[in-house]
Amino acid sequence: MQILYGFILAAITAYLAYYAHGLNRSGALAATIVGTIIFGMGGWQWAVLLLTFFITSSALSRTFKRRKAGLSEKFSKGHERDAGQVFGNGGLAALFAALHAIYPDSILPWIGFAASLAAVNADTWATELGVLNPTPPRLITNLRKRVEQGTSGGISLFGTLASLLGSAVIALPAALFSDDWSLFPLITFSGLAGSLFDSFLGATVQAMYYCPTDQKETEKHPLHTCGTETVHIRGWKWLDNDWVNFACGVFGVVIAFLAIAL
Ligand SMILES: [Zn+2]
């Protein structure tokens, strides 16, 4: 029965997001699947965390859309999220909700779920709010080197604070619902670590392309916003932004579990 309620809540949320242009058609379908698993197998506390991520990240993308208009070609997709982005951000969280259904007495699926969402939320907040930093960001692999705003792998004070805040917003209800306040710092720092790992991949092995017409580096492939075919310049071709987001969540979970084990 809970699965049915989960499906109804997920389908309504996905439809509203599709209607508001937060998701495209494939993204809405993927969000219905991910939402059904999380709402249906987790429960309302799990739904609150997922919706916190979903609503705050969509709202931030929307708010800063205009401001970032000039930067948007650096990002591979617009603010309408597709299935790849939904699974990249929420696939791991759905896996932990399923594990909770199998091991209902263990706290570990809840911690894994919260850490993965904290990481992707931290990354989204950093991406959306980091552009407000007054000076150009620095490359995470070489902090003395400044890079253009919006460059993958660039970090700034503002972006890092936004990341910490985005992580804390997930960690707060995660601690509240589990009645264990040690989860608040644990999840917050795991999420921050995940988002820094995301930047590290962006600076090193993430697939990057170049638009010969605009003479700019971009994540877009095969075509740039201007319609020109982009050329692969660095990184592993299969490691696109969706896989980097997924890895960001995995890293957050690994840090959380390592911290518990120690
Ligand atoms: Zn171009």
Stretch 83-94: mean pLDDT: 95
Strand (E) or helix (H) holding 106:
none
Distance 223 CA to ligand 1 centre (A): 8
pLDDT recorded at residue 234: 93
Distance 231 CA to ligand 1 centre (A): 11
Angstrom CA distances, 262 to 63, 115, 256, 257, 259, stand at 40, 17, 10, 9, 5
Distance 111 CA to ligand 1 centre (A): 42
Checking if the pLDDT of 248 tops 80, the result is yes
CA atoms lying within 13 Å on the CB side of residue 197: 22
Checking if the pLDDT of 212 tops 80, the result is yes
- Residue carrying the six token digits 């299969």: 238
Q: Which residues hold their Cβ within 5 A of ligand 1, which is an ion? A: 211, 213-214, 224, 226, 228
Confidence of residue 222 (pLDDT cuts 50, 70, 90): confident
- Closest-CA residue to 31 (of 81, 100, 98, 96): 81
Distance 174 CA to ligand 1 centre (A): 42
Stretch 190-200: mean pLDDT: 97
Distance 66 CA to ligand 1 centre (A): 19
pLDDT per residue over 20-31, tens digit each? 888 999 999 999
pLDDT recorded at residue 22: 87
Confidence of residue 61 (pLDDT cuts 50, 70, 90): confident
Cβ contacts of 140 within 8 Å, gap of 6 or more: 153, 154, 155, 196, 199, 200, 202, 203
Distance 146 CA to ligand 1 centre (A): 23
Stretch 71-92: mean pLDDT: 78
pLDDT per residue over 148-185, tens digit each? 887 889 999 999 999 999 999 999 999 999 999 999 99
- Residue carrying the six token digits 């708010």: 63
Distance 236 CA to ligand 1 centre (A): 21
Strand (E) or helix (H) holding 38:
none
pLDDT recorded at residue 76: 54
pLDDT recorded at residue 66: 54
Confidence of residue 45 (pLDDT cuts 50, 70, 90): very high
pLDDT recorded at residue 154: 92
Distance 149 CA to ligand 1 centre (A): 17
* Burial per residue of 39-59, b for 16 or more beta-carbon CB atoms within 10 angstroms, e otherwise: bbbbbebbbbbbebbbebbbe
